[in-house]
Amino acid sequence: SFIQVNPISFIEFSRLLSTNLSDSSYSSELIAVVSSVLNYVDCSESPLCPTLNRNPCSMISATCGECLDGFIGEKGNHNSPCMDQSSYSLALRSVIKPCKGNDDCNDIEFCDKQTQICSVKPKSCPSDCSGRG
């Protein structure tokens, strides 16, 4: 079946919804259309996410996803670049950064209270995380 979507006002939408709720097939189609509109993410303006070592845009409009496996960077959906974890670890070995608190470290580090040295934050979900982490 084909559904044609025409722009209507909220008042018209409310009236249509209330008059057609008794028809279950119409209600199901309407709910499906409204859900897809509410969940739509416009990724047309997002950068080339693979060049930033990030997953493609999917959750936030014009924003890349999380860092690819094996890369670290700003946590979550961002357009900042992610860095190869092994390169970052090598760089850390040559530059040990003392700290007294997390504010002394960069965004992808935390202050290890025992060593008082900035360390790379562990992934928030070290297991599979249902394919999302």
The answer to whether 29 and 5 have CB atoms below 8 angstroms apart is: no
Q: What is the pTM of this model?
A: 0.46
What lies within 8 Å, CB to CB, of 103 at 6+ separation is none
Interval 35-62 mean pLDDT:
87
DSSP lists the bridge partners of residue 76 as: none
Cα–Cα distance for residue pair 49/60, rounded to 1 Å:
13
pLDDT tens figures, 56-89: 999 999 999 999 999 988 889 999 999 888 776 6
**Is pLDDT of 18 > 90?**
no
pLDDT score at 48: 96
Cα–Cα distance for residue pair 34/25, rounded to 1 Å:
14
- Among residues 51, 55, 71, the alpha carbon closest in space to that of 63 is found at 55
- Among residues 40, 41, 63, 61, the alpha carbon closest in space to that of 52 is found at 63
Interval 93-114 mean pLDDT:
83
